[in-house]
Chain A
Amino acid sequence: MGEREGVGRWLPWISSPILLVLFLGVWQFAVSVVGVSEFILPAPLKVGESLVGMLDEPATWAHVRVTLFEVLLGFVIALLVGTALGAVLGRMVWLERAVQPAMVAFQVVPKVALVPIFVIWFGFGMTSKIVMAVILAFFPIMLNVLLGVRSVDRGHRDVMRGLGASRWATFRDLELPSTLPYIFAGAEVGIVFAVIGAIVGEFLGGSEGLGYLVVSSLNSLDAPTLFAVIVILAILGSLLYLAVTTAKRFIIPWHDSVAKQ
């Protein structure tokens, strides 16, 4: 058992570089042997060069900062509002019943289609992107918290009731800790959605951010830059996701989702 667990722990660290090298190999192969056009698929090295060149430019970092700010602010707002609303709806079954059809209706709307409206309402600046990030990240967080509040173990509740625990003590020692894993489950999805929201918002309007950079390099048919921006976005997304899972490790080390890894 112990040995197998050890292998499981280290395997991704070995397999991921191999997969990356394999991916780059196939890519290079497609370019140099199959002969895919440079306009469609630039060689990995070209993209690398472009990436290095971009990272040297302060303008790129300004775009990164804009996107990062939109994502983080959108995510934090979604986290606060989603947790609060999820907690309230989780407590009040009748209220959840009442607003459920409206929630479902809003959820099934492809929210990306709302971006033009937000541009009209909030302008071409960062606000419309932040709103988009909030709207996308908010739902998974709220739904998870709602579920979490409902999932407090009955036996655990009996323990607190048997001890005559106050409302505050019940919240502090039981409800909050048992809801935290659900908040994190929502946050892990939420941070990814917040990135999507901000990028899509930048696609459709404005002159700042990595999403804008994608569109502008497409307009100038600069494939290497386009690919380089996508690489930056991938790294940014991964780092943000990593930040959330790391926070989870520190805040709920006792939970199965952390302990069994």
Chain B
Amino acid sequence: MKMTQKATVQDGTDDTAVVDPSRSGLGPVELELAGVNKVYQARRGRVEALSDVNLSIRRGEFISLVGRSGCGKTTLLRILSGLLPPSSGSVTANGQSIWRGSARNDEALQQVGLVFQEANLFPWFNISDNISLPLKLRGVDRKARAARAEELCELVGLRGFEGAYPRELSGGMRQRAAIARALSSRPSILLMDEPFGALDALTRDKMNLELQSIHAATGATVVFVTHSISEAVFLADRVVLLTPRPGRIRSVTPVSLARPRSADTEASVEFQQIVRGLRVELDEES
């Protein structure tokens, strides 16, 4: 399996052109959504949050989910991550169903790592213990956990902060730690719900670059929820546009810009065209 992660990213920003077989060709399907529906029973009747969502995501692929607030993108991600059962439909990760009715299948979810909008680090653990929490829950011994946390600190650029507490870190650094935590059990799928939404624009740009190199280094399949179209295009292999009421997939746009992408990519005509196209589509629906 492709879960062999490169633990150390090439000590910097430039050298991220890791050869990634999954991107050169089409890998096998890693994550499959078929006929996913979600209906909430609200006080004023039924609210259809998601309607008939179908999507196949290949191994190592980076998918961005964009849409206005209320289009169900977070709902979709929570269904994928085992936090919210779908009303109907199926979600499978490498052939294993994530949901059995409304019960989560913990075994299938072992392959999934999760990053939220808030870092959600535990203030009573230092960074090392926060990062290795998923390993602790799996019964990995203390020494191995510390070693893995050190590796991951290296990967996300938190070297030297292993013993620090979350309150001593900036917002961007906390979010790096949250990403490291999600990666600690070597999941093949990484789900991210607007992970940089609470960060300032400069930090956000930097984090996007780093996420790109982390993606390259780990080869993980990523589903990334955002409301920023340019962020979505910058990161993704495919951008999935969702429209609200009921939440459904409106379009899937492939982004074939060369990697690694940089500030130059964002200045390119091709990039601008894709962003404009998506923006027009988003405006049309309202």
Contacts and interface: CB of A to CB of B under 8 A. Distances in A.
B249 interface: no
A174 B83 contact: no
A38 interface: no
B219 interface: no
A183 B71 CA distance: 41
B106 interface: yes
B60 interface: no
Contacts of B167: 254, 256, 259
Mostly, the A contact residues are helix
B81 interface: yes
Interface in A50-67: none
B81 A163 contact: no
A8 interface: no
Contacts of A18: none
A29 to B, nearest CB: 48
Q: Is the interface of B mostly helix, strand, loop or mixed?
A: loop
A174 B122 contact: yes
A173 B82 contact: no
Interface in A162-213: 162-166, 169, 173-174, 177-178, 180
Interface residues of B, number: 22
Contacts of B104: 164
Contact of A159 (B109, B116, B136): B116
Contact of B114 (A156, A162, A173, A174): A162
Q: Which size class do A's interface residues fall under?
A: 20 to 34
B56 interface: no
A254 B114 contact: no
A158 interface: yes
A155 B109 CA distance: 18
A5 interface: no
Contact of B82 (A164, A166, A177, A256): A164
A252 interface: yes
A49 interface: no
Contacts of A163: 114, 133-134, 137
Contacts of B133: 159, 163, 173
A162 B106 contact: no
Given A164-B109, A173-B133, A158 B165 contact: no
A177 B116 contact: no
A177 B118 CA distance: 19
Nearest to B105: A164
A170 to B, nearest CB: 9
Contacts of B124: 177-178, 180, 252, 254-255
Nearest to B109: A164
A164 B125 CA distance: 19
A163 B120 CA distance: 13
B22 to A, nearest CB: 24
Contacts of B106: 164
Interface in A225-261: 252, 254-256, 259
Interface string B100-143: 00001010011010101010101111000000011011000000
B98 to A, nearest CB: 11
Nearest to A158: B83
15 contacts: A155-B120, A159-B116, A161-B83, A162-B82, A162-B112, A163-B114, A164-B82, A164-B104, A164-B110, A166-B137, A173-B125, A173-B137, A254-B123, A254-B165, A259-B167
Given A163-B134, A164-B137, 8 more contacts: A159-B133, A162-B82, A162-B83, A162-B109, A162-B114, A164-B104, A165-B137, A173-B122
